[in-house]
């Protein structure tokens, strides 16, 4: 088994190939050609932390993948990263472990940004120019870069609670830091990337026709979009089950404002595009699915092995 | 993270310490001090194979463990072992991966034999002298060695469908190869270690007072003991849920001959010994639980780290 450290992983990561693989993964998930393993999960109290193991197999592939990830929230107090983990690439022909990708979370961040970019492309209105980014963390930066590049949106607005961080990110992305009201008034596409547990975007802030990619809500209790906003939007989800459980879609579903069967999965949308009306508010609610991990680990491994 | 190959694992494996750790694991499982993760599972058709990931945490420990295991049954045709896997030892304080134990299945085989020896010790009649071993594979050898040593049973009988293999194993263990009828007539304790899907031991073969440790049945469909035999025995199980699902205990339970609440878990028996009557037939049905993996990996890691 090959142990692959981050620099070598980054060398082997071809962004176009990985994006195509993640898209292919969503499509195959929709077609029922992906076997996902149960998610294994452990919780820790002292210090607080958790561990989860996700994995799966795209039918017919030469390899399958398990991802092992931990979060220990107090690690930074000790000068350590809160996240640890790796992806293990295994032969689907012999069961032999081929590689351990010690990606330090970078592949997860990258596949998360790629799902955002794919969703954004699938829901964007023609003629869109302005991308608004809410949040200033790693996903704000990565989604900003990837979406701007993929969709050619060159007018970038950034809003963050910290004006300094917003200014720094805007600078990095070649955009401008603005107030949230201005961002909502001008952006054609808004990407929300905060870990908020109270709505950041409210229904009255968002203009008809706005497209939103929401990537912050990934565990129960998180919410970036007011329930009234989500309830009146067309909803795209990466996984109906997950989004109803702990994504933005869960809020209007639990309030019985949205029907479970109105959700359209991203894989279905990629396979069969939808002509949204120009004044539809469309929200892509992304919680992260294992098929993204499988796809990105697989492309890295293919480059390493050849 | 330290990658530890088999020779170094074997050097660090103190059998007494590991046996004590496995016993402690079963006791803590019974006391509710173990958090077991969901078992993640994938199946493969072409070639046939499977993968499972098991893990857990004994509350208060410094480390937790995930085991990753694959079986690809046609590997031997290609000159490869059918089993592959490793155990990953992780800090329960920071989530950092401390070690990958590339044990090639040896730690699993060892912890399986240890559970057999612990169960045998807990159910053995006083004055027992003769150990009967049914089967000639790796568990036949390991259970034979470990039980004989731990319990001082120095009269060893071996039965196998292949007379040659039985003779070879008997030779190795310092015992005698015999017919199954003779083994049943003479053995105080019988260990069954075959992958059979049809009963090997029938009710009329087994004398009152015989103690049996059955380790073969570990997946649905396997059965070494006739249902009528299991139905009339006192049943010890490593896990009620697992044994009712795919162990020997499942057969009389599904036939409504045995009540689920009559099963006694090994951890409970170790915590509170039972005075079995001399003519009770007692069967220990062992399917393998993750706490054994956690325990043995932990003891190896403790020796490696100090």
Q: Is B101 on the interface with A (CB under 8 A)?
A: no
Inter-chain CB proximity B53 and A37 less than 8 Å: yes
Per-residue pLDDT averaged across B238-260, rounded?
96
Q: B10-33 pLDDT, tens per residue?
A: 999 999 999 999 999 999 999 999
How close B270 comes to chain A (CA, Å)?
26
Query: A133 and A213: one domain?
Result: yes
The tens digit of pLDDT for each residue in A212-231 reads: 999 988 888 899 999 999 99
Indicate the pLDDT class of residue B217, thresholds 50, 70 and 90: confident
Q: Do the Cβ atoms of A42 and B53 come within 8 Å?
A: no
Q: Which of B51, B64, B96 sits opposite A95 (nearest CB)?
A: B51
- pLDDT confidence of residue A228: 98
Same domain, A286 and A296: no
Q: Which of A69-78, B175-184, B208-217 has the lowest mean pLDDT?
A: A69-78
Judge if B75 and B200 occupy the same domain.
no
Taking contacts as CB-CB distances below 8 angstroms, the residues of chain A near B94 are 49, 72, 75, 78, 80, 84
ipTM of the prediction: 0.87
pLDDT digits (tens, 9 = 90+) for B155-172: 999 999 999 999 999 999
Positive or negative CA dihedral for A250, A255, A259, A262?
A: negative
Chain B residues with beta carbon closer than 8 angstroms to that of A84: 94-97
pLDDT in tens, A147-201: 999 999 989 999 999 999 999 999 999 999 999 999 999 999 999 999 899 999 9
Domain of residue B262, CATH code? 3.40.50.720
Q: SS3 for B58?
A: strand
Contact residues on chain A for B102, CB-CB shorter than 8 A: 1
A79 CB within 8 Å of a chain B CB: no
Cα-to-chain-centroid distance, residue A20? 15
The model carries a pTM of: 0.87
Q: Is some CB atom of chain B closer than 8 A to the CB atom of A88?
A: yes
Q: Any bridge partners for residue B237, and if so which?
A: B265, B285
A200, two tokens:
């950041």
Using 50, 70 and 90 to split pLDDT, how confident is the model at B306?
confident
Q: What is the mean predicted confidence (pLDDT) over B137-160?
A: 95
pLDDT digits (tens, 9 = 90+) for B224-242: 999 999 999 999 999 999 9
Q: Tell me the average pLDDT across A48-67.
A: 95
Q: Does residue A92 sit at the B interface (CB-CB below 8 Å)? A: yes
> CA of B131, closest CA in chain A: separation in Å?
36
- In this complex, is the C-beta atom of A42 within 8 Å of any C-beta atom belonging to chain B? yes
A218 and A230 share a domain?
A: yes
Question: Same domain, yes or no, for A95 and A176?
Answer: no
Model confidence at A97: pLDDT above 90:
yes
The answer, yes or no, to whether residue A129 has pLDDT greater than 90, is yes
Report whether A81 contacts A156 (CB < 8 A): no
Q: Are residues A40 and A126 in the same domain?
A: no
Q: Are residues B41 and B133 in the same domain?
A: no
- Mean predicted confidence (pLDDT) in B96-107: 94
A148 contacts chain B (CB < 8 A): no
pLDDT at B83: 85
Q: Considering only residues 221 to 240 of chain B, which have any Cβ-Cβ distance to chain A shorter than 8 Å?
A: none
Could you list the residue range(s) of the whole structural domain that residue B87 is in?
2-107+291-305
In this model, does residue B87 exceed pLDDT 90?
A: yes
- Judge if A203 and A70 occupy the same domain: no
Structure confidence at residue A280 (pLDDT): 97
Residue B81: pLDDT above 90? no
Q: Which residues pair with A54 in a beta bridge?
A: A67
- What confidence tier does A141 reach under pLDDT thresholds 50, 70, 90? very high
- The whole-number pLDDT of residue A208 equals 97
Q: Are A113 and A193 in contact (CB under 8 A)?
A: no
Q: Determine contact: B93 vs chain A, CB below 8 A.
A: yes
Residue A96 has its nearest CB partner, among B1, B53, B84, at B84
- The CATH number assigned to the domain holding A61 equals 3.30.1780.10
pLDDT at A82 over 90: no
Tell whether A44 lies on the interface with B, counting CB pairs under 8 A. Answer: yes
A125 and A100 share one domain: no
Q: What is the pLDDT of residues B273-294, one digit of tens each?
A: 999 999 999 999 999 999 999 9
* Mean pLDDT computed over every residue of chain B: 95
Q: Considering its fold, how many domains does chain B have in total?
A: 2
Chain B residues inside the 8 Å CB shell of A37: 40-42, 51, 53
Contacts of A71 in chain B (CB under 8 A): 95
Confidence bin at B94 (pLDDT 50/70/90): very high
Best mutation target, A6, A36, A40, A100, to test chain B (most B CBs within 10 A): A40
pLDDT at B220: 85
* CB–CB contact A38 B38 (8 Å): yes
pLDDT at B183: 98
Same domain, B129 and B26: no
Query: What's the confidence (pLDDT) of residue B69?
Result: 92
| A53 in reach of chain B (CB within 8 A) | yes
| Reported confidence tier of residue B299, pLDDT bands at 50, 70, 90 | very high
Residue listed under structure tokens 């009540």? B259
Q: Do B135 and B262 fall within a single domain?
A: yes
Taking CB atoms and an 8 Å limit, are B42 and A51 in contact across chains? no
Contact A51 B64 (CB under 8 A): yes
Give yes or no for residue A285 having a pLDDT over 90: yes
Same domain, residue pair A242 and A230:
yes
Residue of chain B whose alpha carbon sits nearest to that of A79: B94
């Amino acid at each position: 088994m090959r142990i692959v450290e981050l620099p070598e992983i980054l060398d082997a990561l071809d962004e176009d190939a990985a994006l195509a693989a993640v898209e292919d993964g969503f499509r195959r998930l929709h077609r029922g050609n992906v076997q996902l393993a149960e998610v294994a999960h452990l919780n820790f109290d002292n210090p607080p932390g958790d561990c989860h193991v996700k994995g799966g197999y795209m039918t017919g592939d030469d390899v399958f993948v398990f991802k092992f990830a931990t979060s220990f929230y107090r690690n930074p107090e000790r000068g350590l990263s809160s996240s640890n983990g790796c992806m293990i690439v295994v032969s689907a022909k012999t069961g032999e472990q081929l590689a351990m990708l010690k990606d330090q979370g970078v592949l997860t961040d990258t596949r998360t940004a790629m799902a955002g970019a794919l969703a954004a492309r699938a829901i964007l209105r023609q003629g869109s120019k302005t991308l608004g980014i809410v949040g200033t963390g790693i996903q704000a930066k990565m989604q900003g870069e990837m979406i701007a590049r993929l969709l050619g949106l060159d007018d970038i607005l950034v809003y963050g609670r910290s004006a300094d961080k917003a200014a720094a990110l805007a600078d990095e992305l070649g955009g401008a830091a603005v107030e949230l009201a201005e961002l909502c008034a001008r952006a054609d596409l808004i990407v929300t990337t905060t870990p908020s547990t109270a709505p950041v975007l409210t229904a009255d802030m968002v203009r008809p026709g706005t497209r939103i990619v929401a990537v912050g809500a990934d565990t129960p209790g998180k919410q970036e979009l007011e329930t009234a906003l989500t309830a009146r939007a067309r909803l795209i989800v990466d996984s109906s089950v997950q989004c109803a459980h702990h994504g933005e879609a869960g809020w209007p579903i639990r309030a019985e404002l949205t029907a479970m069967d109105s959700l359209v999965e991203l894989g279905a949308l990629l396979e069969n595009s939808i002509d949204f009306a120009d004044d539809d508010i469309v929200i892509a609610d992304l919680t992260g699915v294992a098929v993204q991990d499988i796809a990105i680990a697989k492309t890295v491994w293919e480059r390493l092995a050849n």
